[in-house]
């Protein structure tokens, strides 16, 4: 059993940050994933959390650690202020006791006289520090909910805060990031947001990672995807193949290699790759449809029908699968 209160600050905070620090993207270290972390370690040994540089930073559902790091209270404390300062993971104060409970936490550092609000306003809200300095606001990444703002601001966070499309991605907490990690961060966020500025940065960074010999299977796969999007199959295919040799548990790589084999007329090879992709990620409905088409062309009509019905179970509106199923049934 690990008691976080007895750990050094970075190891202590990592226990909370494994769930309460999403940033813009979490990039696993080569050979690691989100499940690699063990309490007592530093989260940065397993992944790099990237945030957008600049301000204002919009609040997110799991941005508690990022928000707290922005607060003057945290900065002034020299990292002594942490989640466990105010929260006991084993007990939660009753609803009618919360205001006094958390006010008591504030008063361990502040004086009651520090508050400049009129006495009438303080009485109106039950002398509740949280109401003014940690209000409940809607996060930027989920609608119709509100969460407590842990930035502990003197004034309310600006509504609808956003950062420019070219804002730099930087590691949370400072420090450097490898070319591979930074390239993957821009790739993941750029593709998710369809941000051409980020994908262009990612393309060049991943090229550098490959040239320096620091690219792993994941980096190779993303660079291959960028080459494929540029219709440069001569560079994309070898990268996909190299990535696959390094790690055969990548469904996206298996799916892409299946598509290349289909283009070349190597149907049996395409079928092999697509079966592997579906064994890893069963919900890839377009892969199921492509697999069914290849099965049909190789004389496996019955298996093609089963595969199409499975695709429609995942996505009933998939017209391509319906059309192919009707074609088989005729």
pLDDT band at 98 (very low <50, low <70, confident <90, very high): confident
pLDDT of res. 15: 92
pLDDT of res. 159: 62
Half-sphere exposure of 62 (CA within 13 A, CB side): 12
Distances (CA, A) of 172 to 7, 51, 143: 20, 6, 25
More confident residue, 277 or 5: 277
Percent of the chain with pLDDT over 90: 57
Range with lowest mean pLDDT among 20-24, 186-190, 247-251, 256-260: 20-24
Distances (CA, A) of 96 to 131, 154, 282: 14, 24, 48
More confident residue, 315 or 113: 315
Among 169-178, 268-277, 313-322, top mean pLDDT goes to 268-277
Residues 189-214: pLDDT tens digits?
A: 999 999 999 999 999 999 999 999 99
Sequence length of the chain is: 330
- Separation CA 57–CA 67 (nearest Å): 8
For residue 17, with 0-12 CB atoms within 10 Å meaning exposed, 13-18 middle and 19 or more buried, which class applies?
buried
> Strands 136-137 and 147-148: what pairing?
antiparallel
Convert 60-74 to b/e letters by CB count within 10 Å (16 or more is b). beebbbbbbbbbebb
Range with lowest mean pLDDT among 142-146, 238-242, 300-304: 142-146
């Amino acid at each position: 059993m690990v008691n976080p209160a007895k750990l050094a600050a970075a190891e202590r905070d990592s226990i909370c940050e494994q769930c309460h620090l999403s940033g813009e993207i979490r990039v696993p270290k080569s050979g690691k994933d989100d499940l690699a972390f063990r309490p007592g370690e530093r989260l940065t040994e397993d992944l790099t959390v990237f945030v957008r540089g600049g301000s204002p930073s919009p609040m997110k559902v799991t941005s508690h650690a990022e928000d707290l790091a922005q607060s003057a209270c945290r900065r002034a404390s020299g990292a002594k202020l942490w989640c466990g300062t105010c929260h006991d993971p084993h007990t939660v104060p009753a609803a009618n006791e919360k205001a006094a409970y958390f006010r008591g936490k504030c008063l361990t550092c502040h004086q009651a006289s520090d508050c400049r609000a009129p006495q009438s306003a303080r009485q109106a809200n039950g002398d509740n520090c949280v109401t003014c300095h940690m209000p409940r606001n809607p996060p930027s990444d989920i609608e119709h909910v509100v969460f407590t703002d842990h930035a502990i601001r003197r004034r309310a966070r600006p509504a609808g805060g956003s950062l420019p499309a070219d804002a730099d991605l930087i590691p949370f907490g400072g420090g450097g990031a490898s070319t591979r990690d930074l390239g993957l961060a821009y790739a993941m966020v750029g593709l998710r947001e369809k941000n051409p500025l980020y994908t262009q940065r990612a393309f060049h960074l991943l090229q550098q990672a490959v040239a320096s010999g620091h690219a792993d299977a994941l980096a190779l796969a993303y660079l291959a995807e960028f080459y494929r999007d540029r219709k440069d199959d001569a560079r994309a295919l070898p990268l996909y193949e190299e990535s696959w040799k390094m790690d055969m548990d990548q469904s996206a790589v298996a799916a892409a290699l299946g598509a290349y084999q289909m283009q070349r007329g190597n149907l049996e090879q395409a079928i092999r790759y697509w079966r592997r992709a579906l064994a890893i990620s069963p919900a890839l409905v377009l892969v199921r449809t492509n697999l069914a088409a290849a099965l049909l062309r190789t004389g496996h009509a019955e298996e093609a029908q089963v595969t199409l019905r499975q695709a429609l179970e995942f996505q009933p509106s998939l017209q391509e699968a319906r059309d192919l199923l009707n074609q088989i049934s005729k």
